[in-house]
Amino acid sequence: MGIDIGRLLTMHAAWKLDRGEFARTEISMAKIVVVDVLQQAVDTALQLSDARDCSKDTVLEWIYRYARQARLVDGASEVHKMVLARFLIEEREQFWAWDVAPGMQET
C-alpha cells in the first residue's frame, strides 16, 4: 500500500510539472512517503534475516546504507514537513480570504 501511495504521489507531481504547474508540495509528500516506505522495508528485511545480512559486502547491507542516505538527499524529511506546513498554512489563509462574486454584494 505504501509503495502504491508513493508511486501515485510521484506520478501526480510529475503530471503537475509536465503541465508547468507548481508541484513543491507534491514533491515533498512523495519524498517523505517513499523514503519512509523504503526504510520500513529494509528494517523488516533486516529483522527477518536476524541481522545476518548486515555484515559488509552483502546486498542488504548496501540497501540499508542506500536507504539511510536517501533520507538526506534533497533535504531531510523534517525539512519537507516544514515546507508542507508552510504551504498548507498559506493555502488555509487564502481559503478564508475570498471575495464576494461581482454582482452579489450586499446592499
Q: What is the maximum alpha-carbon separation in the chain?
A: 77
Q: What is the pTM of this model?
A: 0.68
When mean pLDDT is compared over 38-42, 92-96, 103-107, the highest value belongs to: 38-42
Domain ranges of the chain: 2-84
For the chain, give the DSSP string: -HHHHHHHHHHHHHHHHHTT---HHHHHHHHHHHHHHHHHHHHHHHHHTTTGGGSTT-HHHHHHHHHHHHTTTTS-HHHHHHHHHHHHHHHHHHHH---PPTT----
Percent of the chain exceeding pLDDT 70 equals 80
Which CATH entry fits the domain spanning 2-84: 3.30.70.20, 3.30.450.20, 1.20.140.10, 3.40.50.720?
1.20.140.10
Using the predicted structure, report yes or no on whether residue 53 has a pLDDT greater than 80. no
